Each structure stands twice: as C-alpha cells, then as structure tokens.
C-alpha cells in the first residue's frame, strides 16, 4: 500500500569534538590554545544544531505519517487474497508508484502506476495467500491457514484492483488526503480520500504493486512454486 525520500544528516563533517583537547587541560592565555579550544567548541555546537533539528523534525513527521516510506517498485503485480480481513483505523486515497529507471516492466506506462493506497492501523487476515507470476510459474506464499491468523500493524497496500464484501464503521468519504487521522498516514494535499474507524472485508482479493507494514506476523508460513496463483 505507498510510500518520500529519506534524508540522513551527515555524520562525518562536524568539527573536532570539543571533549578532545578540553579547555581545562591547556593553560589559558589571551590568544593561546585554550581560547582556540573554546572557539572550536562553539563552532561544533552551532553546526550540530541544524542537524539535530532536521533529524528531530523528520522523526516527528514520520511518526505523524506525513512522510511515507518510498521505494522503486518492480512493476510486477502480485495477487493477495484472504477469506476475511478485519481492521481498525482505515484510510484510502489515490497515489502514484514509480519503477526503477530503465525497468523492463515499464511497458507504455512511463515507469509509473496509478494506485489506490489503503492503510490499516491494525489488521487481522484469515487464510492469506499471495502469488506473483514469474512467467510460466508462480511464487506462492500462504499463511494463517491454521488456528492462528495473520496480523499486521501499520499495514499499507498499493493496489490497482480490490474486491470483496466490505463493511465500514463510522466512515467519512471525501476527505482531503492530507487531513486523514485514522491510520496515522497522510496522503497528498488535494487528493480525494476516505477513512473509517473499522473495516471488515469478506473474500478479499487485491492486485497489488507494493505492501509495507511495521510488523507482519505470518503463522504457518509456507512458500512454494505453483502452476497456479491465488
């Protein structure tokens, strides 16, 4: 389900550590080593402040869902099915996924796929099946077919098709995607969206290009190759 570039503050471009060459270790003179030590310490403190502020701001934005985790999609769609999906904190809005430059799967799309991003804060799935067509054979992944169900937190899927029998509780339709609050994810400003406190989908079937989750537990995981998909 979608996903801005990560910004990492540089860790190798700060002045000397003021703790090495402490002022107390060198006799203090008007223009001597002690004064230069204090100047280096002040420079280090000034340069460290912007990096700290940037890192702090990114952490806050990520926690609020203002920044998504972006990656180049392969461009190969995969199918996901479940007999039941039960989720709390649901959001849905439009988005655009991009493939790696020069991907052989871009075809006539220009390397971009228009998707619907669905975000669920906490989800439980029964009899999960995921398959991707590798050309003549399918990579098949199954989980949650026993007593334990598949669970996920901060689950997002980017889909081009979604079907099933759905029921929502306290749904809001027509929100601006940048104002969503139910799942902790915010979409682009000016984009149509909807959200609900709870979603239940029976006989779920999706065609996806991307899936992310903070935690994804797959009891009874089984991976195999098959002549048929989900």
List, for residues 55-105, the tens digit of each pLDDT value.
333 333 333 343 344 689 999 999 999 999 999 999 999 999 999 999 999
Quick one: average pLDDT of 208-218? 96
9 vs 46, 71, 200, CA distance in Å? 15, 20, 41
pLDDT of 3 over the 50 cut: no
- ∠ CA(160), CA(83), CA(114), 5° rounding? 5
Q: Tell me, what's the pLDDT at 71?
A: 87
Q: Tell me, what's the pLDDT at 41?
A: 43
Q: Tell me, what's the pLDDT at 6?
A: 45
Start-to-end CA span in the chain (Å): 19
Nearest CA to 127 out of 165, 166, 85, 173 is that of: 85
162 vs 18, 216, 220, 227, CA distance in Å? 58, 20, 25, 23
Q: Tell me, what's the pLDDT at 81?
A: 98
Q: Tell me, what's the pLDDT at 48?
A: 38
Given its phi and psi angles, is residue 217 left (phi above 0), alpha (psi -120 to 50 degrees) or beta?
A: beta
């Amino acid at each position: 389900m979608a996903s801005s570039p990560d910004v990492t503050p540089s860790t190798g471009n700060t002045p000397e550590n003021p703790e090495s060459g402490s002022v107390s270790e060198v006799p203090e003179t008007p223009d001597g080593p002690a004064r230069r030590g204090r100047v280096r310490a002040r420079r280090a403190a000034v340069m460290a402040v912007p990096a700290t502020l940037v890192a702090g701001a990114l952490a806050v934005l990520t926690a609020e869902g203002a920044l998504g985790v972006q990656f180049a999609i392969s461009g190969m769609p995969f199918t996901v099915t479940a007999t039941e999906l039960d989720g709390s904190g649901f959001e849905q809005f439009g988005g655009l996924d991009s493939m790696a430059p020069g991907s052989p799967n871009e075809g006539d799309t220009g390397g971009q796929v228009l998707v619907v991003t669905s975000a669920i804060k906490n989800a439980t799935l029964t009899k999960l099946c995921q398959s991707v067509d590798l050309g003549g054979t399918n990579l098949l992944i199954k989980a949650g077919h026993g007593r334990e169900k598949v669970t996920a937190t901060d689950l997002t899927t980017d889909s081009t098709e979604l079907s099933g029998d759905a029921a929502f509780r306290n749904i809001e339709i027509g929100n601006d995607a940048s104002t969503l609050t139910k799942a902790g994810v915010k979409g682009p400003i000016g984009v149509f969206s909807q959200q609900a406190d709870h979603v239940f989908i029976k006989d779920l079937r999706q065609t996806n290009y991307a899936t992310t989750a903070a935690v994804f537990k797959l009891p009874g995981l089984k991976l195999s190759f098959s002549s048929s998909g989900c």
